[in-house]
């Protein structure tokens, strides 16, 4: 089955700096890559996703890049703010109509310091 | 529009006891999922369903059973709870036929402790 590895496990940045979180996946058939943000004690919420027919997607301060050949994708957060502090999870899935099951990475604890 | 709701929010069980977690969604989603979240291990899929009356095993199904008798509800059962099942359980749902979105919407979670 699919295996998703995520690095780093913790990341501390100064407010206003950029943050980058990287993930690799094992199944070349995976074609959907979402990123979820989970604040302490809350539910995971989708912040951005990308399909395999696109190399990059941006939404304001958040961007995701995908390298299908290398089987890795990354989350980029620019101009970080204290409210960006949370745990971020990457995931991968094969969209086939058979449930779109997500395999998650182990998460990155991002701390944005003032 | 409540989205995805879970009952109960917290529960403490003794080893060997049984319980059922209820998940409900009002978004007319076809797919529903149960995950467990443990420190340092991310979210792992327990069971999932692609429609009313169907269920399938995920990554970590042992010790759990599920049922989807109604499209809007997905039940997770623990027949004989073990301390290893202490975790936070999240339900999620996704996919409306004819719509392109694949986002999984999560419930608020159930924190289960097995003593």
What mean pLDDT, rounded, does chain B reach? 94
- List the structure tokens of B8: 């109960």
Q: How confident is the model at residue B99 (pLDDT cuts 50, 70, 90)?
A: confident
The partner residue sitting opposite B50, judged by closest CB among A98, A104, A106, is A98
* In the predicted structure, residue B97 carries a pLDDT above the cut 80: no
Closest CA to A97 of B97, B68, B54, B93: B97
CA atoms within 13 A on the CB side of B93: 25
How far does B18 lie from chain A, in Å, by closest CA? 25
The reply to whether residue A102 touches residue B104, judged by beta carbons under 8 angstroms, is yes
Strand B10-13 to B110-114 pairing:
parallel
pLDDT of amino acid A46: 96
How far does A43 lie from chain B, in Å, by closest CA? 5
């Amino acid at each position: 089955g699919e295996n998703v590895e995520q690095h780093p496990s913790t990341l501390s940045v100064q407010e206003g700096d950029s943050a980058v979180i990287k993930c690799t996946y094992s199944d070349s058939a995976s074609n959907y890559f979402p990123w979820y943000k989970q604040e302490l004690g809350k539910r995971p919420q989708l912040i951005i996703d990308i399909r395999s027919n696109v190399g990059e997607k941006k939404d304001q301060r958040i961007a995701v890049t995908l390298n299908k050949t290398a089987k890795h994708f990354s989350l980029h957060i620019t101009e970080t703010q204290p409210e960006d502090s949370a745990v971020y999870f990457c995931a991968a899935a094969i969209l086939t109509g058979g449930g779109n099951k997500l395999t998650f990475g182990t998460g990155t604890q991002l701390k944005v310091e003032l | 529009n409540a989205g995805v709701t879970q009952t109960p929010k917290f529960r403490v069980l003794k080893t060997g006891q049984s319980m059922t977690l209820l998940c409900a969604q009002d978004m007319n989603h076809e797919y529903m999922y149960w995950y467990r979240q443990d420190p340092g291990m991310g979210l792992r899929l327990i069971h999932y369903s692609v429609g009313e009356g169907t269920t399938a095993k995920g990554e970590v199904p042992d010790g759990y059973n599920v049922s989807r008798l109604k499209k809007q509800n997905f039940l997770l059962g623990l027949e004989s709870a073990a301390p290893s099942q202490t975790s936070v359980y999240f339900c999620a749902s996704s996919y409306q036929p004819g719509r392109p979105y694949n986002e999984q919407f999560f419930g608020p979670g159930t924190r289960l402790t097995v003593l």
